[in-house]
Amino acid sequence: MIVILLIVLVLAILVAAMFIVSGAKKKAALARKPAAEALPEEDGKEVADTLAGAVRCRTVSHSDQSKVDWIEFEKLHKFLEERFPLVHSSLEHEVIGKASLVYCWKGSDPSLEPILLTAHQDVVPEEELSRWEHGPFDGDIADGFVWGRGAFDVKIQFVAILSAAEKLLKEGFAPKRTVYFGFGCNEEVSGDGAVLIASEFKRRGIHFHMVLDEGGAVMDRLMKQIHSHVAVVGVAEKGHLNLKLSVKKHGGHSSTPDNPTSLGILGRALARVEVAQMPCHLVKPMEWFFEAVGSNTSGLFSLLFSNLWLTRPLVFSAFRKNPQYAAFIRTTHAATMCSAADAPNVVPDVSEAIVNCRLIGSDTPEDVRRWVEKTIRDKRVKVEEAGESMLQSPVSPIDCEQFDGLRAIIGSVFKDTIAVPYFMSGGSDARHYSSVSENIYRFTPAMMNFDELGRMHNYNERLSVDNCGKALEFYLALLARFAG
């Protein structure tokens, strides 16, 4: 009886302590909503119309550069010149590499470091054409949406940036701070567009106050426990690595097989790797994310997220169950490619597979390679790095005027919204700019729900006309705050 009373007492003290910590956290910087500024609402129709025109240019990326139709990029550039005459007559602009665009809007105060607004011009292929309600490159505007490949990922970003600049030029705005725009041409295939732009900036000795690329968006009711919309701003992204698993064993005719074949051995190795999981890490961006979410929820979620020193195992175990969330706390690995014999009656001499890994925190390519080797426990399977790998990107600070400014602008443009830092499980061009800035943020100014997000890189991609207006408002406010 005394033991039970003691346990109840200890639990009561712990819960009370958690409430106290939770209360203290609520006062943390991330919990404060910056004061929303009243901004004039922008009609999205004109931006939507321009976006539709950009969608009609089939700027599809291919890993094999010889398959890219560069005429479509030229078509897009011509279209932008026609749509944005003041931008093209007032700003220095140039083509870098194959088709990447760089614009420079000179500021009046050379003591201020410039900012860079980026986006990519290329898109992924249309995939299942028969499932599109509107042609992927027709640029239809219907039911309040611009339909088509790239409408959201991410032609809206450069269309809205240029629309904001054109409007400000028309109004006679002259920036104090120099503003650069950099639009790469092959982000979707991890191409060299942004790499060349960044190395050109570095060569010219340009260092940026801030870089803003595509990334998170405003999530319409991310969790029902949070009573406002949540804008997730990427402050870092995962690294990547491809591992080649290969097995060599003499093959021959399949009528007299010496089982297991090289493919059988490889299959068993893949099965072992698939069921195993790498250890979880709590990286700084996720710590900040949990802190911010914990400060804006109540009840159990607030307790869980605001007291990770105690609740980390519980949060990790909940996140591990959902593949979308698990990607934020561990290095992931997925078998993606495989090759063996060319005919059904041939036992292959060599069987190979690729395991694509996304690296988190301090996990290095060599750590992951060794972990895969250990997990397979089979000396017949050779595990080696294939192609280029990349570590997790540096983490951009959130305790600075750049992040505060972004939070304030987001809160003013998107009503009833809190902006929180987060960690991107996918890759973007942003990582290439870490040699020219420490303050790199990843955010696409649009209100999204999971249905809209599911259309990205899928059929029926679209963006609402309302979001076109919001994107314009966002860049107008951003240019006024950082360059005005």
Q: Which is nearer to Zn ion, 167 or 462 (CB)?
A: 462
Are 134 and 149 spatial neighbours (Cβ–Cβ below 8 Å)? no
**Which residues does residue 179 pair with via DSSP β-bridges, in sequence order?**
105, 115
Are 102 and 200 spatial neighbours (Cβ–Cβ below 8 Å)? yes
| Amino acid letter for position 300 | L
Q: Which is nearer to Zn ion, 308 or 448 (CB)?
A: 448
Cis peptide before 154, with omega less than 30 degrees from 0?
Answer: yes
| Amino acid letter for position 349 | D
Q: How many Cα neighbours within 13 Å face the side chain of 383?
A: 25
- Minimum Å gap between C-beta 28 and Zn ion is 32
Active site residue 49: no
Nearest 5°: the CA angle 348, 349, 351 is 70
- Minimum Å gap between C-beta 429 and Zn ion is 8
The token pair that represents 217 in the structure block: 């968006």
Q: Which is nearer to Zn ion, 154 or 398 (CB)?
A: 154
Q: If DSSP codes are grouped into helix, strand and coil, which group holds residue 165?
A: helix
Q: Which is nearer to Zn ion, 154 or 353 (CB)?
A: 154
Q: Which is nearer to Zn ion, 25 or 462 (CB)?
A: 462
Listed in sequence order, the residues at least 6 apart from 267 whose beta carbon sits closer than 8 Å to its beta carbon are: none
Q: Which is nearer to Zn ion, 154 or 233 (CB)?
A: 154
| Amino acid letter for position 125 | P
CB atoms within 10 A of CB 314: 13
Q: What's the DSSP call for residue 188?
A: G
C-alpha to C-alpha distance for 288 and 372, rounded to whole angstroms: 30
Q: Environment class of residue 200 by beta-carbon count within 10 Å: exposed (0-12), middle (13-18) or buried (19+)?
A: middle
284 phi/psi in degrees, rounded to 5: -50, -50
- Give all strands of the β-sheet with 350-359 in edge-to-edge order: 332-339, 350-359, 239-248, 381-385
- Catalytic residue of the set 153, 187, 237, 473: 187
- Catalytic residue of the set 42, 72, 122, 188: 122
Q: How far is CA 204 from the centre of its chain?
A: 28
Are 329 and 360 spatial neighbours (Cβ–Cβ below 8 Å)? yes
User: What Cα–Cα distance (Å) separates residue 245 from each residue in 89, 260, 283, 332, 339?
Assistant: 54, 16, 29, 16, 11
Q: Which is nearer to Zn ion, 161 or 335 (CB)?
A: 161
- Minimum Å gap between C-beta 396 and Zn ion is 18
Q: How far is CA 303 from the centre of its chain?
A: 28
Q: Which is nearer to Zn ion, 155 or 407 (CB)?
A: 155
Are 79 and 57 spatial neighbours (Cβ–Cβ below 8 Å)? yes
146 phi/psi in degrees, rounded to 5: -95, 120
- Minimum Å gap between C-beta 326 and Zn ion is 22
- Minimum Å gap between C-beta 476 and Zn ion is 22
- Residues near Zn ion (CB under 5 A): 153-154, 214
- Minimum Å gap between C-beta 194 and Zn ion is 11
The token pair that represents 74 in the structure block: 């030229």
Active site residue 187: yes
Q: Which is nearer to Zn ion, 280 or 471 (CB)?
A: 471
C-alpha to C-alpha distance for 439 and 399, rounded to whole angstroms: 11
Q: Which is nearer to Zn ion, 101 or 154 (CB)?
A: 154
- Minimum Å gap between C-beta 257 and Zn ion is 46
- Minimum Å gap between C-beta 277 and Zn ion is 28
- Minimum Å gap between C-beta 442 and Zn ion is 10
C-alpha to C-alpha distance for 403 and 439, rounded to whole angstroms: 8
For CA atoms 89, 95, 96, 102, the dihedral sign is positive
Q: Give catalytic residue positions.
A: 122, 187
